[in-house]
Amino acid sequence: MPLGKIINLLKGVFQKLPAESVDSSELPETENYPSRQTTENTDLSQKNVSENTFTESTAETSQTSLPTILEEQKMINVSMLQDELQNFVSAASDVQGAALVSPDGLALASVLPGGMDEERTAAMSASMLSLGERIGRELARGSIDRIVVEGEKGYGVLVGCGADAVLLVLAGAGVKQGLLFLEVKRVVAKIAPLMA
């Protein structure tokens, strides 16, 4: 039987025995052999400690640098989203404003007319979406393509923009609905890839 297995068996037996105080004078005298096994264990434990330290420091470094990269990427996306909305509002006729909102009601980007509160508009948009989806289910109409609010001063159109956002578009009363829906479809096609 190899020496390593014998040592492991003896260690197992001694670990299972209850600890009793033993007087060193009762122990038989043994010759002093150099403890080769102890030095190997020490070397291995030092190696394990240094490997663990390297692994932990590498993990800490990757964890601290990763959110920074993601934050920078999100900042770029937010500015690009803001630019797309700005271009849409300024280029489309009779479009007065637009807001990109998370399903939770947080504004991601917006270009709204003066006097409109961004946070309140975002919260109302999320509520409209939630209510519209519930109405669609209850009336067995399937998934909702768009929600349109028509008033004497114009339209509010709410459309899904991927799984993570909803686009609210505000348009004047003189807008042609077909053209408005076409423009909304085009801007959603531009915005949706930026949300990924």
Write the pLDDT tens digit of every residue in 57-111: 444 444 444 444 444 454 447 888 899 999 999 998 889 999 999 988 999 999 9
195 three-class SS: helix
- Where does residue 162 fall: left (phi above 0), alpha (psi -120 to 50 degrees), or beta otherwise? left
The pLDDT tens digits of the residues spanning 23-60 come to 555 555 555 545 445 444 545 445 554 445 444 444 44
Structure confidence at residue 101 (pLDDT):
93
Confirm whether 30 is domain-assigned.
no
CATH code of the domain covering residue 179: 3.30.450.30
Lowest mean pLDDT, pick from 37-41, 141-145, 163-167, 188-192: 37-41
Joined tokens for residue 183: 């423009």
Confirm whether 74 is domain-assigned.
yes
Mean pLDDT of 177-192: 93
Mean pLDDT of 159-166: 87
Q: Which domain holds residue 140?
A: 63-195
174 three-class SS: coil
- Do 159 and 143 meet the contact criterion of CB atoms below 8 Å apart? no
Confirm whether 41 is domain-assigned.
no
User: Confidence band (pLDDT; 50, 70, 90) for 112?
Assistant: very high
- How many structural domains compose the chain? 1
Confirm whether 45 is domain-assigned.
no
The closest of 179, 3, 6 to 94, measured between CA atoms, is 179
Structure confidence at residue 151 (pLDDT):
94
Across 38-75, b (16+ Cβ under 10 Å) vs e yields eeeeeeeeeeeeeeeeeeeeeeeeeeeeeeeeeeeeee
